Amino acid sequence: MSTVNFLAQEKIWFDKPRYDEAERRFYERMNVCFHGFLFRRVLHSCCVLLTLYGSGPVSLVVDDLRAALSKLECRVTVLEKSPAAANPASLKEEDDEDDDDIDLFGSDDDEEAEKLKEQRLKEYAEKKAKKPTLIAKSSILLDVKPWDDETDMAKLEECVRSVQADGLLWGTSKLVPVGYGIKKLQIACVVEDDKVGTDMLEEEITKFEDYVQSVDVAAFNKI
C-alpha cells in the first residue's frame, strides 16, 4: 500500500494546528473584549464617584482606567486586522485546495508501480533469453554383430563411424567375444535427443549389410 493511500485511510486532521491557532486568537479577542467591558464598567463607576465626591484620589484612578482602556482598544484594533480575522469562506477555499493536492486514489503511485512492474518483466525476459537452453542428451552403447568370424572388424567399425549426423558424437569402442571365434563391436556414442534416435542409428548402420548382421542397444542413459 502506498503512503498516500495509507494516510488517506487514517483519521488524521491535517489542518488541526491552523484551527488551534484560530481558536486561540478567537478566545484571546474574547478575553480582551471582556476585560474592556470590565474596564468600561469600572470607569463608569469611577466617573459617577468623581461626579458625587469631586476631584481627589478618584480622579487619578479614572485617569489610569482611561489609559488602560485606550490600550485595550488599540489591541482590539490590531487583532481585528490580523489574519485570524480573515473571512471563514477563504479558510474553506484553502481547505479545498489542500484537499485537491491529496490524491486519495494514489494514481501517480499506481502508474509508477505499473511502470516498475513492466520494466522488471522486460528485464526478466531479456535475462531468460540470454540464458543458454538446456539440451537433452543421451549416452548409447551399441552392439554391432558381424556375419561370421571372417568379417573384417576394422572395416566394420570404419563403416559404423562413417555414419554422421547433427547431434551425433561417436565415442570409444572395443571388440567383445561372442563365441566360436566371433567377436562383436561394442561402440558408445552421445546423441542429442531432439536430433538423433536409436531407430535412425540402427537403420543407417544396417545399411552396411556386407559387414553387419544386426544392431542392438546394449545400454541407454540420459545425460
Q: What is the pLDDT of residue 221?
A: 94
Q: What is the pLDDT of residue 7?
A: 52
Assigned domain for 152 exists: yes
Assigned domain for 217 exists: yes
Residue 109 CB partners (closer than 8 Å, separation 6+):
2, 3, 4, 5
At 189, which CATH number?
3.30.70.60
Q: What is the pLDDT of residue 85?
A: 44
Which domain covers residue 218, as residue numbers?
137-222
Assigned domain for 18 exists: yes
Q: What is the domain count for the chain?
A: 2
Q: What is the pLDDT of residue 84?
A: 46
Assigned domain for 203 exists: yes
Alpha-carbon distances of 220 from 20, 57, 137, 167, 223, rounded to whole Å = 86, 129, 11, 16, 10
Alpha-carbon distances of 123 from 116, 118, 187, rounded to whole Å = 11, 9, 46
Assigned domain for 192 exists: yes
pLDDT by 10-residue block (mean), the chain, 223 residues? 54 65 68 56 59 56 65 67 52 54 57 86 81 84 94 94 94 93 94 92 94 94 90
